[in-house]
Amino acid sequence: MDALTHLAGLWLLPAFTLWGSPITWTEVLACVLSLWMVGCNMRVHPLGWPLAIVSSLLYAALFLHYRLYGEASLQLVFVALAGWGWWEWLRGHGEDGGRLTVHRLTQAQRQRALLLTLCTWPLLGWLLHRVTDSDVPYLDALPTVGSITGQILLGRKLIENWPVWIAVNVTSVGLFAYKGLWLTVLLYALFAGLAAWGWQRWRALEGRVHG
- Chain segment 66-98, per-residue pLDDT in tens: 777 877 887 888 899 999 999 999 998 887 778
- ∠189-195-196 over CA atoms, to 5°? 100
- Of 2-6, 82-86, 104-108, which range is least confident? 2-6
CA–CA gap between residue 59 and residue 81 (Å, rounded): 15
- The domains of the chain are located at 21-92+113-205
Predicted local distance difference test score (pLDDT) of residue 93:
85
CA–CA gap between residue 6 and residue 142 (Å, rounded): 33
pLDDT category at 208 given cuts 50, 70, 90 is low
pTM of the model: 0.83
CA–CA gap between residue 149 and residue 160 (Å, rounded): 10
Read off the pLDDT of each residue in 159-175 and give the average, rounded to a whole number.
95
Question: What's the pLDDT tens digit per position in 110-142?
Answer: 999 999 999 999 999 999 888 888 888 898 899
Number of CB atoms found within 10 A of residue 105's CB: 16
Helix, coil or strand: residue 22: strand
Predicted local distance difference test score (pLDDT) of residue 7:
40
37-56 as b/e, with b when 16 or more CB fall inside 10 Å?
bbebbbebebbbbebbbbbb
**Rounded to 5 degrees, what are φ and ψ at 160?**
-65, -10
63-101 as b/e, with b when 16 or more CB fall inside 10 Å?
beebebbbbbbbbeebbebbeebbebbeebeeeeeebbb
Output the average pLDDT for the chain: 86
Name the nearest CA neighbour of 172 among 147, 200, 205: 147
